[in-house]
Amino acid sequence: MYKIESKNVDFFYGASQALKNINLAIKPNTVTALIGPSGCGKSTYLRLFNRMNDLIDNTKIGGQVLIDGDDIYAKGVNVDSLRKEVGMVFQKPNPFPKTIFENVAYGLRVNGITDKKFIEERVEETIKQVVLWDEVKDKLKKSAFELSGGQQQRLCIARALAIQPSIVLMDEPTSALDPISTSKVEELIYELKAKYTIVIVTHNMQQAGRVSDTTAFFYMGELVEYDNTKTIFTNPKVERTQNYITGRFG
Amino acid sequence: MKMPDENKLAKQKKRNQSIAFWIFRLLSYLIVAILFAILSFIVFKGIGVINWNFITQMPEEGMTKGGIFPAIVGTLCLVAGSMLFAFPVGVLAAIYMNEYVKDGIIKKIIKQMTNNLAGIPSIVFGLFGMSLFVNKLHFGDSILAGSLTLGLLALPVVIRTTEEALKAVDNTFRHASLGLGASKWQTTRSVVLPIAFPNIITGLILSIGRVSGETAPILFTVAAYFLPKLPTSIFDQAMALPYHLYVLSTSGTNIAESRPVAYGTALVLIIIVLIANLLANGLRKYFGKKVKMN
Amino acid sequence: MKTFYKKFSEKFIEGLLMLSSTITTLTVVLIVVFLFKEGLGVFNKKPVEDGFVIALNKQNPVNKLTSAQLKNIFDQKITNWSEVGGKKDSIILFRMEDITNYYSEEQIGEKFERLPQCIGKVVDSLPNIIAFFSTKYLDKNFQGKQLDIDKISFKEFFGGKEWFPTAQPSAQLGVLPLILGTLWVSLGAILLALPLGLAAAVYMSEIADEKVRKVMKPLIELLAGIPSVVYGFFGLVIIVPLIQKVFDLPVGETGLAGSIVLGIMALPTIITISEDAMRNTPRAMKEASLALGASKWQTIYKVVVPYSISGITAGAILGIGRAIGETMAVLMVTGNAAVIPHTILEPVRTIPATIAAELGEASNGGLHYKALFALGCILFIITLIINLTVEYISNRKKYNNR
């Protein structure tokens, strides 16, 4: 059984086609890296899994995206519930203009949970999960803007995890971070694999190599190659993949 | 811990959202309705009054009959006079601020002072204009004094719109010109200004709209209650449309009978503002870039 | 030679540009100088007009009277000397025209040539008299006591509850009713405009699609462009009669009418600034909220509004500022009674309206004139504070966003 499947997925911004016939299946509790040059469609593809592209006017999708076997673009699908199931971490740390505590509690609150004790426990648990607890436990009531960039990003990961999704999407989560923060986030991704299915978009080849189990290489809206990360990096079947990975273009 | 029922929750969220959105939509439409109420009221009441004679004749019979020609001429004089002062000064100041002076204390002070000037209520301009131009410089109640007062009021608007227009010019144009050995002023004059020109003009038109409706600054610097002749020099008093409307509606000799003239005057004022706005919007659309009024 | 010419003209032009850019600064400085020079002059003046004297009989122990006491005496609200620290005797008022009660026209003389002596005699003969007359008719050998009147004090000016700048013999210059009137009307305006303006800002920036927004934006700008005198006219012919009818009042010119008109006028400021602020909310932040399963509405009130709160505050404060400084519309609809208002259904008078209504009658350089400039100073200071507050708020925001 696959966690995520996409079958013949096309995607259009107005008249221009951003994704062409993508077929891909992701197993549960794995980390999948989406790589490729800018504008290849990898971010667009990632944002299909929680229907984030719905927010953009004049877009169209063809084919099917299945999560746990259900078509998430079928009629009558509750998008809010879907997004609860599929967490997302963004390129730049984007905490809300709220306290550290409220940032993590946000997803619980907007999903109708009012039990104070439950929220407190879950917030603590999640912040511990992203290894941030020792750094912030004394300033939970302070603004999230007071944290460093790396701390903010881990907080955003905690925010996504607090509502207990089964899938976590990460859109270049370390591109705005310094090397030390980056390695902390990478360690975290590795550990989270036990509980979640993770899909990560990255520009950084080394990062893809370090954290992912499988890698998909996109080029000009097409899925060029999809395989075990090891295979992709050591023995790619397509020459274009080889060229990209070795830095001949990108 | 019981998790909330997904479907019930979703329904509730949807309902809250549509209630909230409807309230906001209605309140927004209410504002538009207020605008149309004001406009249509004045248009309906005033349209019957306006004709060729109304705009070209002198007031008659204690301003209850006749036209508003001197008020129109007065307002035109004031607009022209104030823009003759504010437009060149404002554009030059904006050029200095945007092209010449570097970030630092001087720029900060000038910026702050321009902001402060923009925030001063128009009646204070009236007080100032009266004490400086009318009394101290002995211009008397005159078109000159009124124009200068209005010009000072419009100055921050001109500076701001011009600055935005200049900022919208891409730096590559400047670098290209300077790279060819052109001086700073040559670059500004022959490269930056032509590109920014449409937006600068848009700002100018908007300030004209603003100046033509101002009353408080001209109360004590130029405005005449009733003057059955046209001004012949810049040292003459003059009637002006907004002041005329004020007088007709509050302190005329016969308020009830002069009401139609008041409606007509209000409509003429509205038409001026409408034309200025349409023109500015048209220009904006035509040239595709934006200049903000506020 | 040519390069010299080029260099020279460059320098000349730069000088010209610099000169232009200093004009705003210069104007602000000049406004401050002129306003405060005239305005502070009010504290150097006595409430009794120059050229007039207040005189008592020389036996009267009273040496000083405040301007409020003087007014009450001549309004016959104080009728006994004991109320102002004198003997227990009723006060006899004497104005110049009262002289005919004491002397015939022949005794005064055809050209009033004997008027000074007559006044002197009257004051001498009546121990309980208080006389108010022109210095022109002050006899050389006047035996009475010329009363010392204090200059107008800060306390009297800011704490006084009555504004009668033309009252005879003693002008009453209490600005309290005017300040309160201004604040009342502006507060009412903002209470009306804020919910409406915010709703429109939220609608335009977050809810409406681009087409609706493209229509609404210029309409809001048009609302900002309508001259204040037209708003005043509209208020006068529509809102004022409506209020009179609805609340069954003797007059419809009330603080409420002012608040409604000012509220409409403050809308564009509030809408434009808060809409700008909300549109500046980073897309990623909104997406993060939606990605957590929040609805669009939850995202608006839990993320967009808190994020843009400083911009919204700035808009509201600037709206108040606009209302406080607005002159013509208020002048036309509030009824302009210079008394401290108790309800919004009474006429009130604001500072700008007072200046506009009275400056025409005030003689150049006189007490009234200077008092109106002092009002201008108050207005200037209020708006300056508002501007600086807005600046502070927006600067703080920049720091937050880094």
Which pLDDT tens digit goes with each residue over A95-110?
999 999 999 999 999 9
Instruction: Please give the Cα distance from B111 to C249 (Å, whole number).
Output: 48
**Inside any domain, residue A153:** yes
| Residues of chain B neighbouring A80 (CB-CB closer than 8 A) | 9-10, 13
Nearest of A225, A168, A208 to residue A29 by alpha carbon: A168
Instruction: Please give the Cα distance from B87 to C4 (Å, whole number).
Output: 30
**Is residue C110 domain-shared with residue C196, that is, in the same domain?**
no
**Is residue C191 domain-shared with residue C76, that is, in the same domain?**
no
Q: Which of A80, A91, A92 faces C293 most closely, judged by CB atoms?
A: A80
- Which pLDDT score, from 0 to 100, does residue B291 have? 46
- Which pLDDT score, from 0 to 100, does residue B227 have? 77
Min distance B31 CA to chain A CA atoms (Å): 27
- Which pLDDT score, from 0 to 100, does residue C173 have? 86
A88 contacts C288? CB cut-off 8 A: yes
pLDDT at B102 over 90: no
Q: What is the pLDDT of residues C69-113, one digit of tens each?
A: 888 888 888 888 888 877 888 888 888 778 878 888 778 777 777
Structure token pair of residue C45: 């003046």
Between C62 and A7, the more confident residue is A7
Min distance B32 CA to chain C CA atoms (Å): 7
**Inside any domain, residue B95:** yes
**Inside any domain, residue C40:** no
C122 confidence band (pLDDT: 50, 70, 90) = confident
**Is residue C272 domain-shared with residue C209, that is, in the same domain?**
yes
Assessment of whether the complete model's pTM goes beyond 0.90: no
CATH number at residue C242: 1.10.3720.10
Nearest CA in chain B to C375: B124
Which domain, by its residues, includes C127?
52-150
The total domain count for chain C is: 2
**Is residue C130 domain-shared with residue C189, that is, in the same domain?**
no
A112 contacts B7? CB cut-off 8 A: no
pLDDT at B162 over 90: yes
C352 contacts B123? CB cut-off 8 A: yes
Instruction: Please give the Cα distance from A24 to C174 (Å, whole number).
Output: 81
Give CA separation, B10 vs A80, A81, A161, in Å: 7, 8, 20
Structure token pair of residue A98: 């709220």
**Is residue C123 domain-shared with residue C211, that is, in the same domain?**
no
**Is residue C215 domain-shared with residue C275, that is, in the same domain?**
yes
**Inside any domain, residue B148:** yes
Percent of chain A scoring above 70 in pLDDT: 99
Contact at 8 Å (CB) between C228 and B241? no
Residue A48 exposed, middle or buried by CB count within 10 Å (0-12, 13-18, 19+): buried
| Residues of chain A neighbouring C212 (CB-CB closer than 8 A) | none
Listed range (A56-65, B3-12, B166-175, B254-263) with the worst mean pLDDT = B3-12
A113 contacts B3? CB cut-off 8 A: yes
Average pLDDT (C50-74) is 81
Q: What are phi and psi of C351, to 5 degrees?
A: -60, -55
The total domain count for chain A is: 1
DSSP state of C348: B
Structure token pair of residue A109: 């609150």
Nearest of A26, A29, A20 to residue A193 by alpha carbon: A29
C288 contacts A111? CB cut-off 8 A: no
A52 contacts C287? CB cut-off 8 A: yes
| Residues of chain A neighbouring C293 (CB-CB closer than 8 A) | 80-81, 83-84, 107, 110-111, 163
* Contacts (Cβ under 8 Å, ≥6 apart) of B143: B74, B77, B78, B81, B222, B231, B233, B234, B235, B236, B237, B238
CATH number at residue A234: 3.40.50.300
Is C3 touching B (CB cutoff 8 A)?
no
pLDDT at B133 over 60: yes
C279's enclosing H/E stretch is: helix C255-279
pLDDT at B292 over 50: no
C293 contacts A83? CB cut-off 8 A: yes
Contact at 8 Å (CB) between C134 and C52? yes
**Inside any domain, residue C318:** yes
Average pLDDT (B141-149) is 93
**Inside any domain, residue A90:** yes
Q: What is the pLDDT of residues B22-72, one digit of tens each?
A: 999 999 999 999 999 999 999 999 998 888 888 888 887 766 777 888 899
**Inside any domain, residue C41:** no
- Which pLDDT score, from 0 to 100, does residue C110 have? 77
Contact pairs from chain A to chain B, CB under 8 Å: 19
C131 confidence band (pLDDT: 50, 70, 90) = confident
DSSP assignment of A189-224 equals: HHHHTTT-EEEEE-S-HHHHHHH-SEEEEEETTEEE
**Inside any domain, residue B44:** no
Average pLDDT (C190-208) is 94
CATH number at residue B62: 1.10.3720.10
Q: What is the pLDDT of residues C217-267, one digit of tens each?
A: 999 999 999 999 999 999 999 999 999 999 988 888 899 999 999 999 999
In C, residues 180-209, which contact B (CB 8 Å cutoff)? 195-197, 199-200, 202-204, 207-208
Q: What is the pLDDT of residues A3-21, one digit of tens each?
A: 999 999 999 998 899 999 9
Tell me the average confidence (pLDDT) per consecutive run of 10 residues in chain A, 250 residues long: 91 91 93 91 92 87 91 88 90 91 93 91 93 92 91 93 93 89 90 92 89 92 91 88 77
**Inside any domain, residue C280:** yes
pLDDT at C400 over 70: no
**Inside any domain, residue B198:** yes
Instruction: Please give the Cα distance from A134 to A154 (Å, whole number).
Output: 13
**Inside any domain, residue C9:** no
C324 contacts B183? CB cut-off 8 A: no
Total residues found in chain C within this entry:
402
**Inside any domain, residue B293:** no
Nearest CA in chain B to A117: B1
Nearest of B241, B58, B23, B227 to residue B150 by alpha carbon: B241
Percent of chain C scoring above 70 in pLDDT: 98
Which domain, by its residues, includes B78?
52-287
**Is residue C125 domain-shared with residue C91, that is, in the same domain?**
yes
**pLDDT averaged over chain C?**
87
| Residues of chain C neighbouring B33 (CB-CB closer than 8 A) | none
Q: What is the pLDDT of residues B60-95, one digit of tens each?
A: 776 677 788 889 999 999 999 999 999 999 999 999
- Which pLDDT score, from 0 to 100, does residue B3 have? 60
**Inside any domain, residue B90:** yes
**Inside any domain, residue B30:** no
| Residues of chain B neighbouring A113 (CB-CB closer than 8 A) | 1, 3-4
Structure token pair of residue C226: 């309508």
Whose tokens are 């990975």? That residue is A245
Percentages helix, strand, coil for chain B (3-state, rounded to 5) are: 75, 0, 25
In B, residues 136-175, which contact C (CB 8 Å cutoff)? 136, 152, 155-156, 159
Q: Which of C216, C228, C301 faces B215 most closely, judged by CB atoms?
A: C228
Average pLDDT (C28-56) is 86
**Inside any domain, residue A71:** yes
